[in-house]
């Protein structure tokens, strides 16, 4: 989080939820890591065990690409397997820290518009993750074949009686 806190504390709550979801998913993955992730251990140990599901859920199971290709551990925190594979395939073609800022920190841009992803439910359930339109516009190239993310985003927008972000297939992703 960045200080001073913004006047809209709801935004800060969004950032806390996203950090909580990311850390919780990393804690779920820690026992399955092929090598120790010492930089993540203090973070993982701080997660209360009674909140974790009893086994690794399919949404977080490492994909073939994750097992075969060296990648930053935090990619594993993303709940959608296809999106994790897309990140791994695109490594080196984008600024990773910028993606992490937008994806994992959320928040607002200089115009006060939400720019990242919000988590409204269990961290391991894709239905709880909502992409903001500004994230989609900036990072759309990485969302190929991630229709479920769009469906979830539109579900949240319908719930809030907002205009749909995109129709599936409408966004051209190369």
Q: Dump pLDDT digits (tens) for 49-106.
A: 546 677 788 889 999 999 899 988 888 888 899 999 999 999 999 888 888 777 665 5
Q: How many CA atoms lie within 13 A of 39 on its CB side?
A: 3
In a domain, 168, yes or no: no
Given pLDDT bands bounded at 50, 70 and 90, which one contains residue 158?
confident
Per-residue pLDDT for 33 more than 70?
A: no
What pLDDT score does 4 carry?
A: 57
Is 95 part of any domain? yes
Task: Look at residue 105 in the predicted model and tell me its pLDDT.
Answer: 58
d(CA 120, CA 129): 6
Find the domain containing 24 and state its range: 9-159
* pLDDT at residue 89 in the model: 95
| Residue 173 covered by a domain | no
Q: 84, exposed or middle or buried, with CB in 10 Å at 0-12, 13-18, 19+?
A: buried
Number of domains in the chain: 1
State residue 38's pLDDT score.
Answer: 44
65: in domain: yes
150 backbone dihedrals φ, ψ, rounded to 5°: -65, -40
Confidence band of 150 (pLDDT split at 50, 70, 90): confident
CA distance 129 to 80: 10
4 is a domain residue: no
Whether 133 and 165 have beta carbons less than 8 Å apart is answered as yes
Rounded average pLDDT over 35-56? 55
Please say whether the beta carbons of 57 and 124 come within 8 A.
yes
The answer as to whether 2 is a domain residue is no
Q: How much is the mean pLDDT over the chain?
A: 75
Beta strands in 5-155 (DSSP E): 117-119, 129-131
How many Å apart are CA 144 and CA 83, to the nearest integer? 8
Top-ranked range on mean pLDDT: pick from 29-33, 37-41, 102-106: 29-33
The answer as to whether 169 is a domain residue is no
**Comparing C-alpha atoms, which of 14, 173, 146 is closest to residue 79?**
146
Distance CA 51, CA 103 (A): 23
What is the rounded average pLDDT of the residues 109-114? 67
In a domain, 46, yes or no: yes
- 88 vs 9, residue with greater confidence: 88
């Amino acid at each position: 989080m960045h200080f001073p806190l913004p006047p809209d504390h709801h935004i800060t709550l969004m950032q806390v939820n996203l950090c909580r979801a990311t850390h919780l998913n990393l804690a779920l993955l820690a026992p399955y890591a092929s090598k120790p992730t010492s930089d993540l251990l203090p973070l993982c140990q701080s997660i209360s065990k009674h909140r974790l599901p009893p086994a690794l859920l399919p949404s977080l199971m490492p994909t073939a690409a994750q097992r075969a290709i060296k990648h930053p551990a935090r990619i594993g925190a993303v709940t959608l397997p296809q999106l994790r594979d897309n990140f791994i395939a695109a490594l080196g073609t984008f600024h990773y820290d910028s993606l992490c800022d937008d994806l994992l920190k959320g928040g607002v841009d200089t115009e006060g518009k939400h720019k990242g992803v919000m988590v409204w439910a269990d961290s391991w359930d894709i239905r709880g993750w909502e992409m903001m339109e500004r994230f989609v516009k900036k990072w759309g190239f990485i969302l190929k074949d991630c229709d479920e993310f769009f469906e979830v985003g539109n579900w949240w927008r319908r719930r809030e009686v907002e205009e749909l972000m995109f129709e599936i297939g409408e966004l051209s992703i190369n």
